[in-house]
Amino acid sequence: MKKIIITIDGWSSCGKSTLAKQLAKALNYVYVDSGAMYRAITLYFLRNHVDWTDKKEVEKALKAISLEFNYNDKLQQSEIYLNGENVEYVIRDLVVAEKVSDVAAIKEVRDFAVAQQKKMGRHRGIVMDGRDIGTVVFPDAELKIFMTADNAVRVERRFKELYEKNPAITLDEVKTNLEMRDYIDSHRDVSPLRQADDARILDNTNLTEKEQFQKALKWAHQLKVPAA
């Protein structure tokens, strides 16, 4: 049967990447972490002291950026490479998280990333998560999922994730960062975060990872998506 495109959008720390990876593995599809692309671009800007309020500087910097996903056989997951360097773990740092929404709101940056994302989906059979995947990148996707969860639950999840890497981090810092990202993502002029009209809502406030996966996989099977 014909392979389809599955998009997963939603708020920060809702488990979009986790679900996308699970679905891609179960369906033998390609997984693309669009958020990692914006984080990698942000990392490049920070490392090279790029003034992202300067359009010319941004355009010049983007020309020097090469992004690709390579599969790690040992970990059984795709990892993002920035100009040949594996930055999968570096981009998860809070310093990058604090700036990524600002960078992702820049029109030139989004145009750059979206163009690459569209190329990745030419042959379909892809699962991609982000903020505007179902509304801008793949508005014709067969299965669109919009993930959400209670704010307090999201903060706690994000805190646990970051605490492992930085025990000095506080719950208030995480809460402030999450609220800031939510506001910027949903209020930016270019491709703001919003639920596609035909998206299926997945509220995982009270769901386990297994339960949300089973629910999404059921949706996929209802569309006659072939499992691996």
Give Cα separations from 153 to 11, 149, 184 (angstroms): 12, 7, 20
What is the predicted pLDDT for the residue at 205? 97
What is the predicted pLDDT for the residue at 85? 97
What is the predicted pLDDT for the residue at 161? 86
What is the predicted pLDDT for the residue at 119? 87
Nearest 10 degrees: Cα torsion 121, 124, 127, 129:
30
pLDDT of residue 43 exceeding 90, the answer is yes
pLDDT digit string (tens) for 79-126? 899 999 999 999 998 899 899 989 998 999 999 999 989 988 888 889
pTM of the model: 0.81
Burial label, 134 (beta-carbon count in 10 A; 0-12, 13-18, 19+): buried
**Ramachandran area for residue 96 (φ above 0: left; ψ -120 to 50: alpha; else beta):** alpha
- Rounded to the nearest integer, the mean pLDDT of the chain is 92
Mean pLDDT of 2-21: 93
Top-ranked range on mean pLDDT: pick from 43-57, 111-125, 128-142, 188-202: 43-57
CA angle at 178 for the pair 144 and 104, rounded to the nearest 5°: 65
Beta-carbon count within 10 A of 124 CB: 15
pLDDT digit string (tens) for 176-213? 999 998 998 899 888 889 999 999 999 999 999 999 99
CATH class given for the domain over 5-209: alpha beta
Confidence of residue 146 (pLDDT cuts 50, 70, 90): very high
What is the predicted pLDDT for the residue at 200? 98
pLDDT of residue 228 exceeding 70, the answer is no
Q: Which two tokens stand for residue 108?
A: 């030139």
Angle formed by the axes of helices 209-222 and 16-27, to 10°? Answer: 50
